[in-house]
A and B are shown apart, each in its own frame.
Chain A
């Protein structure tokens, strides 16, 4: 099966000498829901910029559904839709005109484009605003407009570069439902996001990019299975004695009088932990994962070994975002 996107030895060095991509090889299968993750400055946006023809590559090859972006740029571009990270619509155009105009660039006749625009604007909850000037839209509406615009020509591959940044949770969830439906219809989705729990919930395959190179590329399930430790925060009804803390067979530290942090490694299980606590008459009121599993892996792969630990109470992904 032809890959939706294949990058071969992709390199980019900016004029100021900054090497943003250092020979990236990546393949995304047709129909996949793929996460491309990385800390700020890792090269994600440069990579997407090159695929979108907004950034000139220094070397390497980009193929979209088998069409080489250098040799068959029009065929490659016809397969591709992009929702950029930064807002880039004409503020003085009406919402519907933004979508129709974009479709026109792909050769979609105006009447067909109008019908298609209505479908997507309705699905994304923007139809009531279709005669409104773009500059009057809220941040969340602008994000949804960019999705509708990217779909104007019905692409086979949709790249979403942090599409939910700054969007409230209700709209974010409705956007994900919409994108999941697109994927179910056969559209390949490539997603970058700083909300790692979303990537974990939505994506089947994942690549992590750091300092211009792919440091991990695997199915989400395989990657998560690699995680050999998980940290839980336990909220206690009765405090744990200092002596018990020292004797604990698990790495454990008190956060305050009623909360402890416990690290479970491969082979450990919660039942054994609870039995150990039970034996010391400690009752657990509730517990939570300290960090999302993907977040933990992400940090393992992208943080230098010497980096200081994340500040207590600050979610790891937020510290990176």
Chain B
């Protein structure tokens, strides 16, 4: 019974791939196993948004930026569900692993921090995209979907899911009790999302609040996503990509440093 003394570069990368695949598979299995908690609620919530804000209230609001109110809010609502689910999946899963202590299975194994991070992020992205697809499917009952720039839609939703999965991971690293994993979603994420231009164009705000809104990173994601569908946005698309990319790099760097130090997971 023995592990090989030396490991070739190829073997090491195959081991990394298997480890990543194992974490990502376990994460996927987790949210699929509890689909009633993870996949159904966002579909129901968004259906209610479509009915109430889109059909009932939206018809009285009139066009925004030249589009029906329903068409205007659908991309934002899809993005809202993607953001919430990416964040929630990773924060609850990684904190659960800490709480039940089975995160130790990863810590004793030869799995580098970046693979642990990538595996959990893959789980968050998977759930976010699945929920995004479900919500898009539901939205088809309420509007005739048109996609102006499919690649922008695909890339923005992917990058946003990655960004908020990273955010959820960082939250879980610092969390010590269950309250700590609900504070950020409730008091930070929800206000940022609601004030991120999901339901309105920032052109509708007074000049001061327009400037304040520009400090909200969610605004850039919602607008970039909307641009992908409708071909119109409140902010230049290149700036949106730049900010999303910058935040991803920043959060990844912080997460890797914390994993290396063992913050929140080693004594």
Give chain A's interface residues, CB within 8 Å of chain B: 14, 49, 52-56, 73-75, 77-80, 82, 84, 86-93, 97, 101-102, 104-109, 149, 153-156, 182, 185-187
CB atoms of B266 and A54 under 8 A apart: yes
CB atoms of B109 and A186 under 8 A apart: no
Minimum CB–CB distance from B80 to chain A (whole Å) comes to: 28
Cross-chain contact of B100 among A73, A91, A97, A105 (Cβ < 8 A): A91
CB atoms of B266 and A55 under 8 A apart: yes
CB atoms of B104 and A84 under 8 A apart: yes
Minimum CB–CB distance from B258 to chain A (whole Å) comes to: 13
Q: Mark B11-38, 1 if CB is under 8 A from A, else 0.
A: 1101110110111011000100100000
A87 to B25, CA, bound (A): 23
CB atoms of B1 and A187 under 8 A apart: yes
Given the known interface contacts A101-B26, A104-B21, A105-B22, the answer about A55 and B2 at a Cβ–Cβ threshold of 8 Å is: no
The interface residues of chain A lying within 8 Å CB-to-CB of B25 are: 104
CB atoms of B97 and A54 under 8 A apart: no
What are 26 residue pairs bridging A and B, where the CB atoms are less than 8 Å apart in the complex? A53-B107, A53-B108, A54-B266, A74-B12, A74-B110, A74-B112, A77-B109, A78-B7, A78-B110, A80-B108, A84-B104, A86-B101, A87-B101, A89-B105, A101-B26, A104-B19, A104-B22, A104-B25, A105-B111, A106-B15, A106-B19, A107-B16, A107-B19, A108-B18, A153-B109, A182-B1
CB atoms of B100 and A107 under 8 A apart: no
Q: Which of B105-162 contact A (CB under 8 A)?
A: 105-112
* Interface bracket on B: 35 or more
Cross-chain contact of B104 among A88, A107, A185 (Cβ < 8 A): A88
CB atoms of B109 and A105 under 8 A apart: yes
A74 to B107, CA, bound (A): 11
Given the known interface contacts A109-B18, A186-B1, the answer about A90 and B109 at a Cβ–Cβ threshold of 8 Å is: no
Q: Which of B71-109 contact A (CB under 8 A)?
A: 97, 100-102, 104-109
B238 at the interface (CB under 8 A from A): no
B186 at the interface (CB under 8 A from A): no
The interface residues of chain B lying within 8 Å CB-to-CB of A105 are: 19, 22-23, 105-106, 109-111
In the complex, what residue of chain B is closest to A78 when comparing beta carbons? B3
CB atoms of B109 and A185 under 8 A apart: no
The count of A-to-B residue pairs whose CB atoms sit within 8 angstroms is 101
The interface residues of chain B lying within 8 Å CB-to-CB of A88 are: 100-102, 104-105
CB atoms of A186 and B2 under 8 A apart: yes
The interface residues of chain A lying within 8 Å CB-to-CB of B266 are: 53-56
B267 at the interface (CB under 8 A from A): yes
The interface residues of chain A lying within 8 Å CB-to-CB of B191 are: none
CB atoms of A106 and B101 under 8 A apart: no
Q: Provide the main secondary structure of the chain A interface.
A: loop
The interface residues of chain A lying within 8 Å CB-to-CB of B33 are: 92
Given the known interface contacts A78-B3, A79-B3, A88-B102, the answer about A73 and B110 at a Cβ–Cβ threshold of 8 Å is: yes
The interface residues of chain B lying within 8 Å CB-to-CB of A78 are: 3, 7, 110
A20 to B230, CA, bound (A): 62
B262 at the interface (CB under 8 A from A): yes
A104 to B20, CA, bound (A): 9
Please indicate which of the listed interface residues A77, A80, A91, A106 has the most CB atoms of chain B within 10 Å of its own CB: A106
A84 to B104, CA, bound (A): 10
Cross-chain contact of B109 among A55, A106, A187 (Cβ < 8 A): A106
CB atoms of B102 and A89 under 8 A apart: yes
Minimum CB–CB distance from A105 to chain B (whole Å) comes to: 4
Given the known interface contacts A55-B267, A186-B2, the answer about A90 and B102 at a Cβ–Cβ threshold of 8 Å is: yes
Minimum CB–CB distance from B257 to chain A (whole Å) comes to: 14
CB atoms of A102 and B14 under 8 A apart: no
CB atoms of A154 and B2 under 8 A apart: yes
CB atoms of A154 and B18 under 8 A apart: no
A86 to B103, CA, bound (A): 13
A131 to B14, CA, bound (A): 28
17 extra interface residue pairs, beta carbon distance < 8 Å, beyond A153-B3, A154-B1? A49-B267, A53-B107, A73-B110, A78-B110, A79-B3, A84-B104, A89-B100, A90-B97, A91-B100, A101-B22, A105-B106, A105-B110, A106-B109, A106-B110, A154-B2, A155-B3, A182-B1
